Structures are given as C-alpha cells and as structure tokens.
Amino acid sequence: MTQKPSLSGVPARELVGILSRLPSYRAGQVFEWINKGIESFLEMDNLPLALRRELDECFCLRKTSLIKKLEDSDGGAAKLQIGVSGGIVEGVLLSDGAGRRTACLSTQLGCAMGCVFCRTGLMGLTRNLDSAEITEQFYHIRKLYPDIANIVFMGMGEPLANLLELRRSLQVLCRTMSPRRITVSTCGLADGIIRLADEGPAVRLAVSLTTAREDLRARLMPVSSANPLRRLKEALLYHQRKQGRRVTLEAVLLGGVNTGTEDAAAMSAFAEGMNAVVNLIPWNPVENICFEGIPLKEPSGADIMCFRAELEKRGLKTVLRRKKGRAVCGACGQLGAAAGSGH
Ligand code: SAH
Ligand code: SF4
C-alpha cells in the first residue's frame, strides 16, 4: 500500500498551495491543528465534517511511529526510538535542574561526516530525513512530555547537510516556538552557515569546534579539510553580523587529546572578535572507538577543570554540560545504537 502524503512538517505557505481549492483561512486552521500535534483530521472540529473526511482520505498526519521509550532512572532524560521508512531515528528529551525541558531532534538517518569520536558518525549516512520526519519527532516527544522550552538539533545527523528539509521543519516549528529557543548544531559547514544566515529562520547556532588546532581538528573531524578554521570563522562572523546572536562553540572533551593549554590558547584566538560562549561536553564513551590506534577516553575531572580555567583566564565564557542521558544512550554522540540495545 502506498502511503498517503503527510501534511505534518509542511510550512504554512506551502499548505495554502496544497489546499488551494479551499479558502486560505482553512489552510491556516489545518496548519494550527497539525502544529498542536493532533493525529487525526477528524479531530479538527472547526472544519466541516465532509472536509475532515476528505482530508483524511487524501493525506495522513504521521509517517513515523513511536517504537520505544527509554527513560533515565532520575527522569532527567528520555530517548524515543522513532520508526521511519528504512530505519530508526532517535529523539531525546533532556530536563535541566530547574525542570526546563529540551527536545533534541535528529535530521538524518546516520551521518556522513565521520567525526571519529561520535557513534552516529560510525554508522555512515543512510539518508536525509524530510521535514515531516523531523517535526514529527517533536510531536512525539511533546505528546509524552508537554511544556518543552527549547529545541536543539543535536541528535543524529548533520543539520546543514540537509538544509532544505531542515529549513522547512524550522519554518513549521518556529510557529510554535520562538526561534530564540531553537538551536541548530553543525560540525562547521561554512556554506550552510552562510545560507542559513541569509535565508533564515533566525535560529541560534552552535558549532562543534572540538578544537581550534587546525591539524588536530582535521584528524578528528574530516569535515575540516573542506572547511578550514579561517573559512569557518568568516562564516560565523557573517552569521553573527546578520542575526546578531551569540554563537555557541561546542567542545567535546577527549581525555588527553584536546584539553591542553595549547588547545585553550587556540580556542581563545578563534573566538576573538566573536560573541561566543564555549559549551564544554565531556566525551560520552562509545565502545570500540580508537583515535589513531589509541582508545579514546573520558577526560578526568582535573582535565575538565584545568581546561575550563585556561579558557576563562583568557576571557572566554564557558558552560559545562552535565552528563545527561547516558543511561539511555541518549547523550551526545551516543545516538545510533541498534533498537533495543540502549544499555
Ligand atoms: N552533527 C551536528 C549535530 C549532532 S552532534 C554536530 O556535529 O554539531 C551534537 C554534538 O555532540 C556535537 O557537538 C558533537 O561534537 C557532540 N558529540 C559527538 N559525539 C560525542 C560523544 N561521544 N560524547 C559527547 N559529545 C559528542
Ligand atoms: Fe555527524 Fe555531528 Fe556525529 Fe560529526 S558529531 S559524525 S557531524 S552527528
């Protein structure tokens, strides 16, 4: 049976075109209902019943399904395994100490970027997700955990390698959440950063810098060869000029690899002239990962403290990310475990 096209993830303007037979206010009503997360056209009770039935015959509202929910025992994180055609993607719910909830969404099934420290990178890329598959992750998460305060695109995949569908999903999600509360994290695709700055929406940007030592970054993140640090910095400054927002530089801390004084100095030089905050993410273990023949290891508490102090000494603002979601393998870089094996 061929699946009916899904209307979830369709931006309001496109919906007016798809439903062009109807007065445009009807498309607006349908859009509002979809973005509230309803799963059946029949529930759209301000639409005539005949129209609801007609929509139901032609379209669907879910092309993905919730397969499994894995919750951390302390309630701080949950990983939702969501079935998409050809595989499983993961959406994650993170709660901070104050109970604020953040939904973490995936944009690809796998990832082609091959960062050596990341489990998703090990999988390789199967395919891009479309806007319906991206926004539906949010609806699945919000149904179980209402009152989501933020959305981050830090799940599986590289958002800017799927720019078209990313932007469509952002256009939808920005109607339910302020763009200031949405963050797209990229491994540093300079052209994508510039296009997002030009074309919007004006969401926040996080860049997985990892290290600002060019040679080391190239060894850890193959994407660096085509996107050297100078080019990346230019793109970030351009984004900042256009959007006027502070950029987050993410640094996954790898024990004994990128937490030295030299790394701190390079990072502060990179951040010069930028309105930036550094997000320090202690590496979450991924089994069987080696870097140039040596197994990667977590940074020690002392490594983290010293590196942070070196950055702050140089005037950089830092935030240390708490270890959330490990028990469900839903922490950064741990996404991609086979269904059911979430430890
Ligand atoms: N592809 C995008 C977004 C998904 S990765 C990107 O790379 O930015 C989200 C974040 O998880 C990135 O900052 C990445 O550096 C980090 N990360 C990857 N593997 C990790 C691991 N094993 N432990 C901790 N953080 C990791
Ligand atoms: Fe892909 Fe991001 Fe993982 Fe790198 S860190 S492999 S870009 S998901």
Low-confidence ranges of the chain (pLDDT < 70): 1-2, 323-343
Please tell me what DSSP assigns to residue 150.
E
Q: Kindly state if the Cβ of 183 falls inside 6 Å of ligand 1.
A: no
Q: Look up tokens 């959406």; give the residue.
A: 91
Cβ 186 vs Cβ 206: under 8 Å: yes
Side chain identity at 279, as an amino acid letter? Answer: N
Shortest-distance ligand to the CA of residue 255: 1
**Are 280 and 307 in contact, with CB atoms under 8 Å apart?**
yes
pLDDT of res. 212: 98
**pLDDT of 65-108, one tens digit each?**
999 999 987 778 999 999 999 999 999 999 988 889 999 999 99
Q: Is 211 in the pocket of ligand 1 (CB under 6 A)?
A: no
Note the maximum CA span of the chain.
68
What SS3 class is residue 338?
A: coil
* 8 A C-beta contact, residue 137 and residue 112: no
Closest-CA residue to 276 (of 240, 224, 323): 240
Contacting residues for 287 by C-beta, under 8 A, at least 6 apart = none
pLDDT at 99: 86
Position 72: which residue type?
Answer: D
- Of 80, 143, 73, 85, the C-alpha closest to 106 is 80
* Confidence (pLDDT) at 342: 30
CB of 92 closer than 6 angstroms to any ligand 1 atom: no
- What is the number of the ligand 2 atom nearest to the C-alpha of 333? 3
pLDDT reported for residue 343: 24
At 73 the pLDDT is 78
CA 10 / ligand 2 centre spacing (Å): 26
Domains of the chain, residue spans: 12-58, 65-328
Give the ligand at the shortest distance from the Cα of 110.
2
Give the mutation target among 89, 92, 105, 115 for probing the ligand 2 site: most ligand atoms within 8 A of CB: 115
If we measure between CA atoms, which residue out of 343, 335, 331, 341 comes closest to residue 77? Answer: 331
- Cβ of residue 336 lying under 6 Å from some atom of ligand 2: no
DSSP code for 143: H
CB of 154 within 6 A of ligand 1: the answer is yes
- Residue type at 306 in one-letter notation: C
90 is catalytic: yes
Structural contact between residues 136 and 62, judged by C-beta atoms closer than 8 angstroms = yes
The answer to whether residues 296 and 289 touch, using CB atoms and an 8 Å cutoff, is: yes
- Residue 204: φ, ψ to 5°: -75, 155
Among 236, 281, 290, which is best to mutate for testing ligand 1, by the most ligand atoms less than 8 A from CB? 281
Long-range contacts of 319-323 (CB under 8 A, 24+ apart): 319/277, 319/278, 319/279, 319/280, 320/280, 320/282, 321/279, 321/280, 321/281, 321/282, 322/96, 322/97, 323/282, 323/284
Q: What is the mean pLDDT of the chain?
A: 93
Predicted TM-score (pTM) above 0.85: yes
52/87 Cα distance (integer angstroms): 31
Candidates 3.60.60.10, 3.20.20.70, 3.60.10.10, 3.40.50.300; correct CATH number of 65-328? 3.20.20.70
pLDDT tens digits, 136-186: 999 999 999 999 999 999 999 999 999 999 999 999 999 999 999 999 999
The answer for residues whose C-beta is within 8 angstroms of residue 8's C-beta and 6 or more apart is 34, 61, 62, 63, 132, 135, 136, 139, 172
- Amino acid 340: pLDDT: 32
CB 180 within 8 Å of CB 219 = no
The pLDDT value given to residue 341: 31
DSSP string, 29-78: HHHHHHHHT---GGG-TTS-HHHHHHHHHH-BS-SSEEEEEEE-TTSSEE
DSSP 107-138: -EEE-SS--TT-HHHHH-EEEE--HHHHHHHH
Structure-token pair, residue 4: 């009916």
